[in-house]
Amino acid sequence: MQEAIKLSELSSCEVAVIGAGIGGYGAAIRAAHLGKNVTIIEKGNVGGTCLNLGCIPTKSLLVTAHLLNKIKQSEDLGVTVGEVTVDFKKMIDRKDAIVSRLNNGVRYLLKKNKIRLVEGDGRLISKDRIRVKRADGREEDIVTDYVIIASGSEPNVPSNISVDRKKVITTDEALGLITPPETMAIIGGEVMGVEFAEIYNALGTEVKILEKTPNLVPSLDADLGKGLQTILKRRGIGIHINADVDSVEVETDGKVSLKAPEQLHLRVDKVLLALERRPFTEGLGLENIGVQLRDGFIAVDEHMRTNVPHVYAVGDVAGGKMFAHVALAEGLVAAENVAGKDLVMDYKVIPTCVYTSPEIGSVGLSEEEAVKLGHTVSIGKFPYMANGKALTLGEREGFVKMVADKNTDEILGVHILGPNATDMISEAAIAMRLECTSEELGRAIHPHPTLSEAIMEAALAVSGKAVHI
């Protein structure tokens, strides 16, 4: 007979959520709105990766980087600036204060919605029972009707690279450095890679990006990567494409040696791994209830249900687009379905944002994807150098590119490299959601002078009707 485990507590709820990131706490709050008794379990800080180690802290540091880059243009704007110094500690303190404030905000929302927060490591014992081990060693079993797994993701470390968290670091450690290094190599030219490159380049670090594909931000339209590469190179960031790193070694003098094909050999102070993240599934007890995985991620259907009845999964652990806004949308869908609704996730219109300077905003199909899917495409492209507002801002680099189906004029994708692109892309997302054609969007009157006129002009350019080019 198996020895009974001594438990300090036993509790029950209708919905138990594992993970208090945006997907998890979003699901918990929506379930509570729908009248459910909800418990949420979190082993770290509430808010998850985005709030604590991703979106929010990096954007805080990028604000300073953007300001430093803007100061370099100040004389063009008629302002002469003296010697500029950076207080790196103040940057970090500001970042930490913002994270702390938002952290407390999430806790307040959970409390306001009468959601019980249990701080500890949750593990599924059965499909209706979760065992939580707290930091003080105490254990609690939570009996529940429904489970929503929102355990998130963690940095991905290739098998051929040893991470010591000091010289060879992940994005987690990059947010906690005491001083900027003199030299840094960033492995990975996707969203996080180019954002960290901009941060440290602005702070005076000699930065080199190594990307194994032929283009930066390879998940997006190729024109965006090419345009961003030109801009970053001009700022002094070294970019090596088609560079799949063979080895990383910390040498006796403290330098880190990197080797890649074509005789590429670098010696730097820090190596930052900025690769795609991997789902956090270890220790969740998925094997205890037979939850199926797909390529390491929890397999879910369009309702966010796993193969196990009453068990759902949302956010990074469920794969797909690993963005905070997607995790939130999935969490809301899961919560609605737990409450008896019949909602499905629609992944057709999901914006991607890159917070470099200039920014990138992208939604829908790239030109390459549209062609592969069999569309005959029409392209409309409008450069910011022909936009009055962009010129007044001193932000003439970049463009708006629209991809439309040549036969139906349906907008298939919109891709922006330019100022405020991450805010502007929402207009394109709404237009696509409502199945707007490029002609309809081009006929919508946009105020002048604004950056948004570039979207209108790109829409008009699809049929060769743009006015200002």
The residues carrying an active-site annotation are 448
Pairing of β 359-364 and β 247-250? unpaired
Determine the 3-state secondary structure of 95 from DSSP.
helix
Please say whether the beta carbons of 349 and 364 come within 8 A. Answer: yes
**DSSP-assigned beta bridge partners for residue 400:** 382, 416
How far is it, in rounded angstroms, from Cα 363 to Cα 349? 6
Determine the 3-state secondary structure of 222 from DSSP.
helix
Pairing of β 206-211 and β 183-187? parallel
Report DSSP state, residue 462: T
* Residue 59 CA to its chain's centroid (Å): 11
Q: Which position has the token pair 């349906």?
A: 410
* Residue 142 CA to its chain's centroid (Å): 32
* Residue 211 CA to its chain's centroid (Å): 18
How far is it, in rounded angstroms, from Cα 413 to Cα 427? 12
Please say whether the beta carbons of 19 and 315 come within 8 A. Answer: yes
Counting DSSP H helices and E strands in the chain, the numbers are 14, 24
* Residue 391 CA to its chain's centroid (Å): 30
How far is it, in rounded angstroms, from Cα 26 to Cα 106? 10
